[in-house]
Copies of this chain bind each other. A is one copy, B any other.
Amino acid sequence: MEFLVRAENRLPADTADDVRARLKTGERARADELRAAGVLKRLWRVPGRNATIGLYETTDATTLHDALASLPMFPWMDITVEAVATHPQER
């Protein structure tokens, strides 16, 4: 099933550049894996914010949580999940 996932990145503004760079690289690599696995289907930037909206597809909320928690930035992210149903027009 699909989920819309809003993630605000709360990494402090004064984080050292190398820490930030390493986290960002790891984040990108893990996101690529989730895309390859069909878990992360789309990702948008919320304009003006260090935040994203993602469209995920997993078997259930437990698998979704494991996918999100596997992202290196997870400890600094404020995430809200919305389960969405298939619309009759797309069945």
- Chain A residues at the B interface, C-beta cutoff of 8 Å: 1-5, 7, 13, 28, 31-32, 42-49, 52-53, 59-62, 64-65, 68, 75-90
Closest B residue to A54 by beta carbon equals B87
Contacts A13-B75, A13-B76, A60-B60 given; indicate if A5 touches B48 (C-beta within 8 A).
yes
| Interface contact B48-A81, CB-CB below 8 Å | yes
Residues of B within 8 Å of A80, CB to CB, are: 48-49
Closest B residue to A76 by beta carbon equals B13
Min CB distance, A50 to chain B, in Å?
A: 8
Residues of B within 8 Å of A85, CB to CB, are: 44-47, 60-62, 64-65
Contacts A4-B53, A89-B31 given; indicate if A61 touches B47 (C-beta within 8 A).
yes
